[in-house]
Structure 1
Amino acid sequence: MLSSWSTSLNLVFFSLTWTTIAMTYSPLQLEFFGPLFLRTLLYLLPSAAFLLFDLGVPSLSVEIKAQGEMGLPARQRGGAAKVRRVVGWSVFNVMLAVVIQAGVEWLTTDVLRMRSLLLIKGSTWSFNHLPNPWTLAKHAILGLVSRNILQYYIHKHILHSPTGGTFARLHQSWHHSVYVPYSFVASYDHPACYLLYRFLPLYLPAIAFRFHIMTYLLLLALFSLEDVFTYSGYTVLPSTIMLRGMARRIDAHMMSQGKGNFGPLGVLDWVNGTTLGADLVDDLREEMERHDVQERTGRAIDGAGDAAGGLAAKFKNRSKRGKGRG
């Protein structure tokens, strides 16, 4: 009962907080400061912390790097100067995407006097500013799926295609000038390639289906953390199934100079046969073996069978005793 009350109060406080924010700030301010805050808090600052760890304590960092000493940023080609270039352009690209999104919102609402491209004020749930929970979940799944599909085909058929032209050349000379990734490398690319591959696959579905801005920010937060961890080069990651396999595939993509592993999750690589190394199915199988899922399931089934057998025996004995008394 207390847990239920606590959850209800948290929802009420969250609703009040969001409603206050939505009533206080304009759609343009929300579309600028929301993404800026999340990208800074969940991508730039963690990436900076990981980089400082790699540079400050390399003897400890190398122990948890998947590629060992090769994975240390300062030991790669270009040294400290290259690291500074990667960090500088990564921060620039992140800020560029935030500014472009805010600029599009300004052009739409202030200049053309049209409604916001993302749903910000006005909904069907409490306080008229929060998204319907079912709509939020549906749009979140839609955004996740559409982003992964767009990223796979943009990555494979434009950024790594012989017919990709300027985009392919720029992506190869910028992003793939780093051999082993670290977190800032996720956003290190020519700005045009970054916008095409990182920004548009999330933003276009969001405005096409007019996501609520809270749904958009939720997905932005999720993908920011994904970039931090999957490009970190570390073997110690929060999730043993998804993130560890994704990080291995990104390592293989970078070290092969883009010969495969074009999708973040690896599902479309598995379907289209472009996986390098272990695929998604192998990751799931390995995880099951690591946690002895099959063995535990077998033990649970055997235990349930023994319990059912014991229960049946008890009923049988009672039935016999009842007949004997009769």
Structure 2
Amino acid sequence: MSILTSPLTALPLAPLLVLPFLSSWSTSLNLLFFSLTWTTIAATYSPLQLEAFGPFVVRVLLYLLPSALFLLFDLGVPSLAAQVKSQGEHALPVRAAGGKKKVWRIVGWSVFNVALGLALQAGLEWLVTDVLHFRSLLKIKGSKWSLNHLPNPWSMVQHAVLGLVARNVLQYYIHLYLLHSADGGILSTWHETWQHSVRIPFSFVAAYDHPVCYLLHRFLPLYLPAIAFRFHILTYIFLVAAFSLEELFIYSGYSVLPSTIMLRGMARRTEAHFMSGAEGNFGPLGVLDWVHGTTLGKDVMDDLKAEMDKHDVQERAGKAIDDAGDAANGVAAKMKRRARKRRG
């Protein structure tokens, strides 16, 4: 079966994966349904088809299409869009990019770069499995004793955390030492004249860069750890989905963002990186910027404190401790009463 036919033949299976999450069934039934569906997909399609089709769907649905909707909103109703942009009308794409023609150039190269990363991944998988006849670069099945091709949940969590940490570490050092190198090498020149030609980012700018810089900064920091530790394909797709949404929101320029921990701080640091001319904030998460002293404005610790204050973490923790102490005292009192009754 050709890889080119996989998206068409796999489309009827897409609703089967989505349906459990939209239904009112119990968690057990949802997990059973998903397990059976994934078993069918994994048994039907080759590793090459799964590695090509899965990330393709995620990148289109969670990054390219929403980015296009955000852009249409910014261009269609600029007066309204300016009210929800953190930098107001200065962050509107036409003004931030320097003209509508430049905006369409950014969109075109962003789509090209995303397609390039997906094609490179599919090409490497084809070389390894179909030409060299080695095992797939990403794990498709679960353990050898598993009949449903699902990964071990604990290993999936471990790999997801490992992928998150590795990706952010690699991105930070690649961004700082290669794309903003002190000696102004060719990579630094490309990055400055491409991505940093935009004064304030909008969602498509996350993937707008010289193709070599894009692969180094966006594609490889996630893909290299995935193949080095041979993540399960479901873990990899989950990470691709998470980072697609991250890029969508933190580059959007909007001040109104989903209320998830750290997301607004990441967006603020990304904007500061562009507006300062890349003086700092080389990692959106901000941890390594805090460690190395390259933070501009509020650092990641300020964001954590703000999130804790917002959700009254300390107050709730204190209340939980007090409740636990009261419960313990109550148990101790009951034990004393029972002991006195026995002695009496």
Q: How far apart, in 2, do the equivalents of 1:116 and 1:301 lie?
A: 49
Shift in Å, 1:128? 4.3
| Aligned 1:18-33 pairs, distance under 5 A | 18-33=38-53
Q: Is 1:76 paired with 2:96?
A: yes
Shift in Å, 1:12? 1.0
Q: Is 1:286 paired with 2:306?
A: yes
Q: How far apart, in 2, do the equivalents of 1:247 and 1:109 lie?
A: 39
Equivalences, count: 317
Q: How far apart, in 2, do the equivalents of 1:26 and 1:11 lie?
A: 23
In structure 2, stretches of 5+ residues that fail to align are 1-24, 334-343
Cα distance change on mapping 1:295 and 1:122 into 2, 3 Å: closer
Q: Is 1:140 paired with 2:157?
A: no
RMSD: 2.7
Which letter does structure 2 place at the counterpart of 1:106? W
Q: Is 1:90 paired with 2:86?
A: no
Cα distance change on mapping 1:291 and 1:128 into 2, 3 Å: closer
Residues 159-180 of structure 1: per-residue CA shift (max 9 Å, x gap): 0112351110000100100010
Q: How far apart, in 2, do the equivalents of 1:310 and 1:109 lie?
A: 64
Q: Provide the residue aligned with 1:113 in structure 2.
A: 133
Shift in Å, 1:274? 0.5
Alignment check: 8 A CA contact 2:266 2:284 kept: yes
Q: Provide the residue aligned with 1:196 in structure 2.
A: 216
Q: Is 1:149 paired with 2:166?
A: no
Q: Provide the residue aligned with 1:36 in structure 2.
A: 56
Q: Provide the residue aligned with 1:320 in structure 2.
A: none
Cα distance change on mapping 1:106 and 1:298 into 2, 3 Å: closer
TM-score of the superposed pair, with normalisation by structure 1: 0.89
Cα distance change on mapping 1:115 and 1:293 into 2, 3 Å: closer
Q: How far apart, in 1, do the equivalents of 2:64 and 2:303 lie?
A: 28
Q: Provide the residue aligned with 1:173 in structure 2.
A: 193
Cα distance change on mapping 1:285 and 1:20 into 2, 3 Å: same
Q: Is 1:9 paired with 2:26?
A: no
Shift in Å, 1:286? 2.2
Which letter does structure 1 place at the counterpart of 2:83? E
| Aligned 1:121-270 pairs, distance under 5 A | 121-124=141-144, 126-163=146-183, 165-270=185-290
- Structure with larger Rg: 1
Cα distance change on mapping 1:298 and 1:101 into 2, 3 Å: closer
Q: Percent identity?
A: 72
Q: How far apart, in 2, do the equivalents of 1:51 and 1:67 lie?
A: 16
Which letter does structure 2 place at the counterpart of 1:212? H
Cα distance change on mapping 1:311 and 1:102 into 2, 3 Å: closer
In structure 1, stretches of 5+ residues that fail to align are 314-325
Q: Provide the residue aligned with 2:295 in structure 1.
A: 275
Which letter does structure 1 place at the counterpart of 2:122? A
Shift in Å, 1:57? 1.2
Q: How far apart, in 1, do the equivalents of 2:154 and 2:320 lie?
A: 35
Cα distance change on mapping 1:18 and 1:75 into 2, 3 Å: same
